[in-house]
């Protein structure tokens, strides 16, 4: 139950969506781009989100593409997580996505919504960070393509009125050796205590995290430590953990100390085979 009213808009092109946003904004409204709507609806209930207009981007053709062309995988931001899992163009993304929420919810949750959402886990961004992908963003001045590292720092840094249209992944990444693990407080469904995803490229490990800090991240310094191959893995891990971008979370999923414990095990579990493999 959304305890306030909004208008619903369903543009069929990128330009129309951006124009709509501008127009609504000029009218003094608070519009939101609308993907799966799962977060907008659930946070609205709790008065943690507000909009008086929503712009559904699921009917914009560019947002729904799933295409491999010229060594590049393009994923529309409005694709549902299950549709990506089923097509399986990027196995690490499939793995990561398939551990988010539950399957029925993932029929609705979109890639763009998960990456751009407020709920801070944003797990599907991990493979995107690891694959050094590019994002296509629509805004007032048309489309622009940027490296994900430029726009995703802790969260998507979009300008007012911008939205994520697509992500583009260099095909050479999708078949790289990879690993993923999601550890929960208990059970098989639920938010992560920690999620770690990694790929190996040119003998170097790329590693990204969710649930460790109140945002997902991939950190150069952490990776440097983890790749200091002359040291034993345990040493590398404990050194790496000194370079986390923020102190480890302490919340209802788990305490700092326990998260640290779980994180160290998770890291050695996925890094050792990846390194050796």
Binding to ligand FAD (CB under 6 A): which residues in 146-185?
158, 163-164
Name the residue nearer to ligand FAD (CB basis): 35 or 127: 35
Query: Burial of 79 by CB count in 10 Å (0-12 exposed, 13-18 middle, 19+ buried)?
Result: buried
Q: Is the dihedral of CA 144, 147, 150, 153 positive or negative?
A: positive
Eight-state DSSP code of residue 233: H
Establish if 263 lies at the interface with ligand FAD (CB under 6 A): no
Q: Does 139 bind ligand FAD (CB under 6 A)?
A: no
- Quick count: other Cβ atoms within 10 Å of Cβ 250? 12
Residue (of 36, 11, 12, 17) closest to 143 by Cα position: 17
- Say how many C-beta atoms besides its own lie within 10 A of residue 96's C-beta: 28
User: Which of 11, 112, 127, 254 touches ligand FAD by CB under 6 A?
Assistant: 112
Task: Please tell me whether residue 217 binds ligand FAD under the rule CB under 6 A.
Answer: no
Of 85, 123, 253, 275, the residue at the interface with ligand FAD (CB under 6 A) is: 123
CA 226 to chain centre: 22
Is residue 254 a contact residue for ligand FAD (CB under 6 A)? no
Alpha helix locations (H) across 227-276?
A: 233-240, 256-276
Site for other proteins in 51-70 (CB under 8 A): 56, 58
Q: Tell me how far, at minimum, the Cβ of 216 lies from ligand FAD, in Å.
A: 8
Selection from ligand FAD, other proteins, none that 181 binds (CB < 5 to 8 A by kind) is none
3-state secondary structure of 163: strand
Distance CA 162, CA 217 (A): 22
CB 70 within 8 Å of CB 47: no
Partner whose binding site includes residue 104, from ligand FAD, other proteins, none (CB under 5 to 8 Å by kind):
other proteins
Residue 14 C-beta: closest distance to ligand FAD, Å: 11
Binding flag, residue 57, ligand FAD (CB under 6 A): yes
CB nearer ligand FAD, residue 101 or residue 197 = 101
Which residue in the set 104, 141, 230, 276 belongs to the binding site for other proteins (CB under 8 A)? 104
C-alpha–C-alpha distance, residues 32 and 52, integer Å: 8
Under 8 Å between Cβ of 195 and 126? yes
- By CB under 6 A, residue 17 contacts ligand FAD: no
Binding site residues, ligand FAD, CB under 6 A: 32-40, 42, 57, 77, 100-102, 105, 108-110, 112-114, 116-119, 121-123, 158, 163-164, 191
Binding site residues, other proteins, CB under 8 A: 1-8, 36-38, 41-42, 44-47, 56, 58, 98, 101-105, 107-108, 185-191, 250-252, 254-258, 261-262, 265
């Amino acid at each position: 139950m959304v305890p306030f009213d909004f208008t619903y808009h369903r543009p069929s092109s990128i330009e129309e969506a951006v124009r709509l946003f501008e127009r609504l904004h000029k009218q003094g409204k608070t519009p939101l781009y609308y993907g799966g709507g799962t977060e907008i609806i659930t946070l609205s209930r709790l008065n943690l989100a507000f909009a008086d207009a929503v712009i559904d981007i699921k009917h914009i053709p560019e947002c729904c593409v799933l295409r491999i062309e010229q060594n590049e995988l393009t994923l529309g931001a409005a694709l549902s997580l299950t549709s990506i899992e089923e097509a399986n163009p990027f196995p690490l993304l499939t793995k990561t996505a398939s551990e988010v929420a539950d399957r029925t919810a993932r029929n609705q949750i979109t890639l763009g919504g998960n990456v751009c959402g407020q709920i801070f886990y944003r797990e599907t961004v991990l493979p995107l960070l690891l694959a050094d992908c590019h994002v296509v963003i629509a805004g007032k001045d048309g489309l622009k393509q940027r490296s994900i590292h430029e726009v995703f720092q802790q969260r998507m840094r979009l300008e007012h009125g911008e939205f994520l249209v697509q992500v583009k992944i260099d095909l050479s990444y999708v078949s790289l050796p990879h690993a993923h693990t999601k550890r929960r407080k208990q059970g098989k469904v639920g938010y992560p205590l920690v999620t770690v995803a990694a790929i190996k490229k040119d003998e170097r490990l790329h590693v990204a995290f969710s649930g460790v800090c109140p945002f997902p991240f991939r950190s150069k310094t952490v990776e440097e430590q983890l790749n200091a191959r002359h040291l034993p893995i345990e040493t590398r891990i404990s050194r790496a953990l000194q370079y986390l971008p923020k102190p480890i979370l302490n919340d209802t999923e788990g305490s700092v100390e326990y998260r640290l414990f779980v994180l160290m095990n998770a890291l050695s579990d996925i890094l050792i085979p990846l390194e050796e493999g």
